Amino acid sequence: MKTRTLLLAAVLAVPFFAQAQTARMEQRELNQERRIQQGEASGSLTPREAARLERGQAHVDRMEARAAADGKVTRREQNRIEHAQDVQSRHINREKHDRQHDFNHDGRKDRPARRH
């Protein structure tokens, strides 16, 4: 009886786990897009950097769409998507903190004042 109950609980938990994984991936993607927008608004990302990062996010979106096209995202596909999100997160961080700024939002990098 216990084995049957545990098996039933495991079978019912699998779809819930898959939904939780998908929700977590989507939330992470939204957070990364928000980080890019915030960087654009603050000027810590130049328009060119932001465009490159948005293309990277689009790549992750396409990976997710291809993985979900057959109705099931396998563990291997999830791992590849998470790895792509990790890489994209590092790219966002690196670009936001690379001392290239567009504080006046004119589309060109602002250069720090020269020190003599």
With respect to residue 80, please indicate whether it lies within any of the assigned structural domains.
yes
- Residue 108 is predicted with a pLDDT of 72
Rg of the chain over all Cα atoms, to the nearest angstrom: 20
With respect to residue 62, please indicate whether it lies within any of the assigned structural domains.
yes
With respect to residue 78, please indicate whether it lies within any of the assigned structural domains.
yes
Q: Would the pLDDT of 13 be above 60?
A: no
With respect to residue 11, please indicate whether it lies within any of the assigned structural domains.
no
pLDDT per residue over 93-109, tens digit each? 999 988 787 777 777 77
pLDDT per residue over 34-83, tens digit each? 999 999 998 889 899 999 999 999 999 999 999 999 989 999 999 999 99
Place of tokens 């769409």: 65
With respect to residue 87, please indicate whether it lies within any of the assigned structural domains.
yes
Report if pTM > 0.75: no
Instruction: Give the amino acid at 90.
Output: R
DSSP, residue by residue, 55-95: HHHHHHHHHHHHHHTTS---HHHHHHHHHHHHHHHHHHHHH
With respect to residue 68, please indicate whether it lies within any of the assigned structural domains.
yes
With respect to residue 91, please indicate whether it lies within any of the assigned structural domains.
yes
Domain, as residue range, for 89? 52-96
- Residue 65 is predicted with a pLDDT of 93
